[in-house]
């Protein structure tokens, strides 16, 4: 039987489709021309311009600070949640699991909108803290699911054995849980970190004036001017993410 060519052809077309915009972006970031229409020669002009933009630096710094804070918060909360759902099979935990799962099926725009309502109704100013609270909320579900996946392979008997041998919870956490579940925590944390850095829609709705993150900044730059600077910014942003992803692949690769 002659195998069909269709899957191969589709896959190649799809891969070209996936990489075309990115290749174009990289090429454009080195284009000396002010608009993308023609090629005026190779230049670092846009990177130099980027270097001088204080507002972009500030946004990048905000993004990083928000990502680190909400990663820590969501890993702590997510690890606790996964532990409870895994260990106690009570009705409370079934509701708990439902609460963890539900945010995953709600589109960003609705989540952002509902958080905006909450903050407005309570009367808090939209600022850094509201962004961190929002990011922690959507990262929490992902971290918990990653941790739950790890806990499925975890043998609870190890803990009982340690308890029988007289270990207290402090020792168990330090000597058993952290080493065995560490890679899961790291994977969940990296996921939370990238999700937070990447988020635009929710941040856009819950950020006040003056606390922009990089994606929100990019959005407002797109509406106004300087498209070529965005290309340069995108290439840097992209390189940082690629390096993080490749590193995390190294870290989380199963040990032989």
Question: Under rule CB under 8 A, which residues in 37-76 are in contact with another protein?
Answer: 37-38, 76
- Out of 132, 192, 205, 232, point to the residue binding another protein (CB under 8 A): 205
Interface with another protein, residue 11, by CB under 8 A = yes
Q: Does 136 bind another protein (CB under 8 A)?
A: yes
Q: Which of 151, 218, 229, 232 forms a contact with another protein (CB under 8 A)?
A: 218
**Which window, 46-54, 64-72, 92-100, 151-159, contacts another protein (CB under 8 A)?**
92-100
Q: Rule CB under 8 A: which of 96-135 touch another protein? A: 96, 99-100, 102-103, 105-111, 113-118, 120-121, 133-134
Q: H/E element holding 99? A: helix 91-101
31 forms beta bridges with 42
Q: Which of 56, 181, 230, 232 binds another protein (CB under 8 A)?
A: 230
Residues 27-63 as b or e (16 or more Cβ within 10 Å = b): ebbbbeeeeeeeeeeeeebbbeebeebeebeebbebb
Report if residue 178 touches another protein, rule: CB under 8 A: no
Q: Does residue 251 belong to the site contacting another protein (CB under 8 A)?
A: no
Q: Is residue 125 within 8 Å of residue 208, measured between CB atoms?
A: yes
Q: Are 175 and 158 in contact (CB under 8 A)?
A: no
CB of 29 to another protein, least distance (A): 11
Closer to another protein by CB, 50 or 100: give it. Answer: 100
Q: How far is CA 24 from CA 21, 83, 92, in A?
A: 5, 45, 51
Which of 40, 149, 242, 247: binder of another protein (CB under 8 A)? 242
Would you count residue 236 as binding another protein (CB under 8 A)? no
Chosen residue from 59, 81, 131, 187 binding another protein by CB under 8 A: 81
Interacting residues of 5 by C-beta distance below 8 A, sequence separation 6+: none
Q: Does 22 bind another protein (CB under 8 A)?
A: yes
- Return the range that interacts with another protein (CB under 8 A); candidates 52-60, 170-178, 179-187, 214-222: 214-222
**158 part of the interface to another protein, by CB under 8 A:** no
DSSP state at residue 224: S
Provide the minimum distance between the beta carbon of 117 and another protein in the complex, in angstroms, as a whole number: 5
Alpha-carbon distance 235 to 233, whole Å? Answer: 6
DSSP bridge partners of 42: 31
Angle between helix 54-87 and 214-223 (nearest 10): 130
Distance CA 203, CA 40 (A): 37
Residue whose pair of structure tokens reads 């972006």 in the numeric block: 25
């Amino acid at each position: 039987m002659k195998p069909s060519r269709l899957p191969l052809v589709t896959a190649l077309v799809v891969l070209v489709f996936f990489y075309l915009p990115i290749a174009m972006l990289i090429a454009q970031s080195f284009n000396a021309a002010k608009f993308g229409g023609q090629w005026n020669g190779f230049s670092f002009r846009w990177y130099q311009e980027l270097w001088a933009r204080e507002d972009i630096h500030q946004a990048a710094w905000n993004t990083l600070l928000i990502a680190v804070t909400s990663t820590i918060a969501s890993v702590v909360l997510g690890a606790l949640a996964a532990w409870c759902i895994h260990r106690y099979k009570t009705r409370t935990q079934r509701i708990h699991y439902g609460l963890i799962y539900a945010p995953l099926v709600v589109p960003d725009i609705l989540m952002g909108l509902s958080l905006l309502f909450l903050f407005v109704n309570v009367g808090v100013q939209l600022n850094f803290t509201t962004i961190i609270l929002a990011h922690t909320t959507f990262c929490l579900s992902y971290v918990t699911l990653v941790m739950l996946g790890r806990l499925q392979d975890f043998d609870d008997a190890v803990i009982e054995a340690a308890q029988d041998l007289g270990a207290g919870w402090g020792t168990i956490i330090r000597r058993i849980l952290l080493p065995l579940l560490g890679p899961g925590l790291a994977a969940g944390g990296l996921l939370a970190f990238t999700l937070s850095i990447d988020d635009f829609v929710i941040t856009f709705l819950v950020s006040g004036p003056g606390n922009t993150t990089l994606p929100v900044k990019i959005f407002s730059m797109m509406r106004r001017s300087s498209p070529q600077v965005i290309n340069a910014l995108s290439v840097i942003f992209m390189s940082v993410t690629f390096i993080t992803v490749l590193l995390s692949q190294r870290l989380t690769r199963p040990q032989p």
